[in-house]
Amino acid sequence: MILGIGVDTVDIARFERTLARTPRLRERLFTEAERYLPVHSVAARFAAKEALIKALGGSDGLNWHDMEIVRDTDRPPAFVRTDRLLAALALAGAAMPHVSMTHDGGFATAFVVVEARAPEAEAAEGVR
């Protein structure tokens, strides 16, 4: 069962100007592994983090670094299983979210789907 869906779109040029005006923003929004990626990639990651917040219905207990996104060449993008993200998901009764990101035509868009945690998984991990 789907608990939440979130989508967000970022104007890449506008995002780049914002980053140039506020250089420390990269540090605040992105982990060390994310912040040195090309601007279209960080814009897509920002959109994904915003989409996750929408899918969860808020960001209670999470900060930007708790929502790190990794992507290996042979695997789709995914959120890193940080302690605070796992806690927020458990509180919502959610499994790890699915994320899709794209950038084209000057925009970066991300889509996040949060599914309900399977009852068997909760029982196996002792979650109540």
**Residue 58's domain is classified under what CATH number?**
3.90.470.20
Instruction: Read off the pLDDT of residues 36-51 as tens digits, 9 standing for 90 and up.
Output: 999 999 999 999 999 9
Tokens 């100007």 map to which residue?
17
Task: Please give the tally of structural domains in the chain.
Answer: 1
Q: Which residues pair with 10 in a beta bridge?
A: 108
Distance CA(14)–CA(99), nearest Å, equals 23
Q: The whole model's pTM is what?
A: 0.89
Tokens 């780049």 map to which residue?
16
Does position 128 have pLDDT exceeding 80, yes or no? no
Q: Which residues pair with 9 in a beta bridge?
A: 109
104 in any annotated domain: yes
107 in any annotated domain: yes
Does position 57 have pLDDT exceeding 50, yes or no? yes
Where is pLDDT greater, at 125 or 57?
A: 57
Domain that holds residue 33: 2-117
Q: What is the pLDDT of residue 122?
A: 53
Instruction: Read off the pLDDT of residues 67-123 as tens digits, 9 standing for 90 and up.
Output: 999 988 888 999 999 999 999 999 999 999 999 999 999 999 999 999 998 876 555
124 in any annotated domain: no
**Tokens found for residue 117:** 């945690």
128 in any annotated domain: no
Burial 77-116 (b: 16+ CB within 10 A, else e): bebeebeebeebbeebebbebbbebebeeebbbbbbbbbe
88 in any annotated domain: yes
